[in-house]
A and B are shown apart, each in its own frame.
Chain A
Amino acid sequence: MKKKLSFLERAAAVPHMVWVVMFIVAPLLFVAYFAFTDVGGGFTFSNIQLLSSYSHIFLVSICFSLVATFFCLLIGYPLAFFMSRAKPSTQKLLTVLLMLPMWISLLIRTYSLMTLLDNGGLVNSLLGKLGFDPIAMVGTGGAVILGMIYDFLPYMVLPIYTSMQKLDNRYLEAAADLGCTPLQTMLRVVLPLTVPGIISGVTMVFVPSISTFYISQKLGGGNFDLIGDTIERQFKYPSTYHVGAAISLVMMILILISVAVMNRFSDEKGEMIV
């Protein structure tokens, strides 16, 4: 009986395993294969060596993602705190409002943001009515970062909100009882106790920001070449597959390292929180 059940359990995992192998493991192996081969199929390091010429693109991408992540945290953290302390009905409403954009395709969201910021867009026509000169926003770094914040903010708020919800109100009362002003309570108690939420929020915003290509193409007006754009371009032509694969591989390794570092950090903190 027990054996049969465990067979069933194993059988239940088969579709997913097939899926993982076909669409995750195999493509990853392909990426690695292409990264270390030339057009003729021979083993080579030249693709990796070529990457040094892309270093500034890596740097710019990392900077953009860091700035976007920072602003998401800056906006998302207080919002998550407010949500977690609101009435249950308000909490539900705010959660729905926050999730609503996530049900709309990222492409559509980005495109509509572009039409808002365009020279003839809503923002500029409003400015024009108020007697200001139009501001060219599309094509600036600010617009790209705004796009990243707009698209990825929910991924920052939700994990932090979850960890805030778990935060017992008694800790806040105890802090106030011991003389903490609301700001001190925030810094001394709430912040350290919600580190796991912050870590997971930061990861969930930083990783998609660094690999995005659509946002920078549309809102950056082609002025900014981020890693995602570069990879996309390489894969448009079979001859540059190999360089594209090498960039992808390095980026994946970078992301893995940063996630591992953050997880380590969160593990230590997590242990403290138990």
Chain B
Amino acid sequence: MNNTLIKLRSIEKSFDGERVLCGIDLDIHDKEFVTLLGPSGCGKTTTLRIIGGFENADTGDVFFDGERINELPAHQRQVNTVFQRYALFPHLNVYDNVAFGLRVQKLKEDEIQVRVREMLEMTGLRGFEARRPATLSGGQQQRVAIARALINRPRVLLLDEPLGALDLKLRKDMQNELKRIQRETGITFIYVTHDQEEALSMSDTVVVMANGRIQQIGTPTDIYNEPVNAFVADFIGESNIIDGVMPEDNKARFAGHTFDCVDGGFAKNEAVDIVIRPEDVDVVPVEKGMLSGVVSGVTFKGDYYEIIVDVKGFKWMIETSDYVAPDEKIGLYIEPDAIHVMKKSEYSGKFGDYSTFSDEMDHLSDPDAEVSENEEEAILS
């Protein structure tokens, strides 16, 4: 985990005059599961393609195991890729697809056979050897793509939204499977996704990107609990982001109330963004609450209720297991360690207010709700 395998230094990249990467610095360690997370157009796939050798950075350097590999073509790099929508060779069957890399290396057929068997075993594809990719389900194609890449025993496996085209249930299974494969093989995984849940549940390290810049690098827990700015707080999970000031260390003033908190190190009365996760707010009787508000919406989510509470015009999202009725006046209680204070950033004020929130809206405004080809076809037919 300690030695750095891949180093990106001040990588910049433009397409047709449009900057997609503005100075990416990133260290990726050996045997690490790193996820590049961000909305579409944030530059995560471009970053991956630069590591894979499919794009060249305009400026900046790529180091692999200490060596600068900017000019090294893709076929000479010790990385393999699981492509978005797989790119399995349609003229080859499963066996030949998986054996492809070894045949290029001109290994003996009997050794190839042993290794392909082993790889098909690991990915649960025994019995599918003679099938063409087009006759496989999405999940099976996914496994072939992984087997085809891993059989070359790369130092690093690049995965470009590999689960994007799968349905939810299959996606969860494949997440566990990928994690298992990564542990078993000890290969460094660089995983690109826009799905924050996927990123949090699989990764050792999450790299949150937006607008061609890295916003935050950290463990899933860090990213969730200590987001550095309003973008990260909003993108990872649900957040109430409120304007506030820090009168002194361990005190935060927002929503007309001064709270105890556990953050410090800001200038006296510095304006800040306050993040409070919906599950960290307790619903209490009005007289016991630090804040009070009127419930304006209640949504049943199965194991909890998601309620929207209007506190002096700012709408909070709160998750509670107790039912509250719409229009009920309730009190809110927040533990000091649930209050997270962030410096103001370019993203301040853009996120974290639920006044226009609805599930439908959230879905519609999700820039990554990309319809996969299969789904498109299904819709068309």
Do A and B associate with each other?
yes
Q: Are A178 and B90 in contact (CB under 8 A)?
A: no
In the bound complex, CA of A83 to CA of B88 (Å): 24
Q: Are A188 and B104 in contact (CB under 8 A)?
A: yes
Q: Does A192 make an interface contact (CB < 8 A)? A: yes
Would you list 22 pairs from A and B whose C-beta atoms are within 8 A, ordered by A residue? A171-B89, A174-B81, A174-B83, A174-B87, A175-B75, A177-B52, A177-B75, A177-B80, A178-B75, A178-B100, A178-B104, A178-B149, A179-B101, A179-B105, A188-B100, A189-B89, A193-B90, A269-B91, A272-B132, A273-B90, A274-B90, A274-B132
Q: Give min CB distance, A167 to chain B, whole Å.
A: 10
Q: Are B148 and A171 in contact (CB under 8 A)?
A: no
Q: Are A274 and B134 in contact (CB under 8 A)?
A: yes
In the bound complex, CA of A192 to CA of B91 (Å): 7
Partner of A193 from the list B79, B80, B91 (CB cut-off 8 Å) is B91
Q: Give min CB distance, A196 to chain B, whole Å.
A: 11
Which A64-119 residues sit within 8 Å CB-CB of chain B?
Answer: none
Q: Are B75 and A179 in contact (CB under 8 A)?
A: yes
Chain A residues within an 8 Å CB radius of B54: 173, 176-177
Partner of A272 from the list B79, B91, B101 (CB cut-off 8 Å) is B91
**Which residues does B use to contact A, with CB under 8 Å?**
52-54, 73-75, 79-81, 83, 85, 87-91, 100-101, 104-105, 132, 134, 148-149, 152
- A147-178 near B? 1/0 per residue, CB < 8 Å: 00000000000000000000010110111111
- A245-274 near B? 1/0 per residue, CB < 8 Å: 000000000000000000000000100111
From known contacts A178-B80, A180-B104, A188-B104, infer whether A272 and B90 are also in contact, taking CB-CB under 8 Å: yes
Interface residues on A, range: 20 to 34
Chain B residues within an 8 Å CB radius of A189: 89
In the bound complex, CA of A179 to CA of B149 (Å): 11
Q: Give min CB distance, A219 to chain B, whole Å.
A: 40
Partner of A180 from the list B52, B75, B81, B83 (CB cut-off 8 Å) is B75
Q: Are B101 and A170 in contact (CB under 8 A)?
A: no
Q: Give min CB distance, B202 to chain A, whole Å.
A: 22
Q: Are B91 and A178 in contact (CB under 8 A)?
A: no
Chain B residues within an 8 Å CB radius of A181: 75
Q: Does A184 make an interface contact (CB < 8 A)? A: yes
Chain A residues within an 8 Å CB radius of B85: 170
Chain A residues within an 8 Å CB radius of B89: 171, 174-175, 189, 193
Number of A-B contacts (CB under 8 A): 66
Q: Are B104 and A184 in contact (CB under 8 A)?
A: yes
Q: Are A273 and B91 in contact (CB under 8 A)?
A: yes
In the bound complex, CA of A192 to CA of B148 (Å): 19
Chain A residues within an 8 Å CB radius of B73: 176
Q: Give min CB distance, A165 to chain B, whole Å.
A: 16
Chain B residues within an 8 Å CB radius of A273: 90-91
Chain B residues within an 8 Å CB radius of A177: 52, 54, 74-75, 79-81, 83, 149
Q: Please name the residue on chain B nearest to A184 by beta carbon.
A: B104
Q: Are B91 and A176 in contact (CB under 8 A)?
A: no
- A116-139 near B? 1/0 per residue, CB < 8 Å: 000000000000000000000000
In the bound complex, CA of A63 to CA of B101 (Å): 40
Chain A residues within an 8 Å CB radius of B81: 173-174, 177
Chain B residues within an 8 Å CB radius of A179: 75, 101, 104-105, 152
| Sample of 8 more A-B contacts, CB < 8 Å, known A173-B74, A177-B81, A178-B80 | A170-B85, A173-B54, A175-B89, A179-B104, A192-B91, A272-B90, A272-B91, A274-B134
In the bound complex, CA of A180 to CA of B74 (Å): 9
Partner of B83 from the list A173, A184, A192, A272 (CB cut-off 8 Å) is A173
Q: Are A171 and B132 in contact (CB under 8 A)?
A: no
Q: Give min CB distance, B204 to chain A, whole Å.
A: 24
The 9 lowest CB-CB distance pairs between A and B, nearest first, are: A170-B87, A178-B101, A176-B74, A174-B87, A179-B104, A192-B91, A176-B75, A177-B81, A179-B75
In the bound complex, CA of A180 to CA of B83 (Å): 16
Chain B residues within an 8 Å CB radius of A184: 104
Chain A residues within an 8 Å CB radius of B149: 177-178
Chain A residues within an 8 Å CB radius of B152: 178-179
Chain A residues within an 8 Å CB radius of B87: 168, 170-171, 173-174
Q: Give min CB distance, B128 to chain A, whole Å.
A: 17
Interface-centre pick from A174, A184, A192, A273 (highest chain B CB count, 10 A): A174
Chain A residues within an 8 Å CB radius of B79: 177
Q: Please name the residue on chain A nearest to B80 by beta carbon.
A: A177
Chain B residues within an 8 Å CB radius of A174: 81, 83, 87-89
Q: Give min CB distance, A237 to chain B, whole Å.
A: 53
Chain A residues within an 8 Å CB radius of B88: 174
Q: Give min CB distance, B165 to chain A, whole Å.
A: 14
Chain B residues within an 8 Å CB radius of A188: 100, 104
Which A179-227 residues sit within 8 Å CB-CB of chain B?
Answer: 179-181, 184, 188-189, 192-193
In the bound complex, CA of A175 to CA of B100 (Å): 8
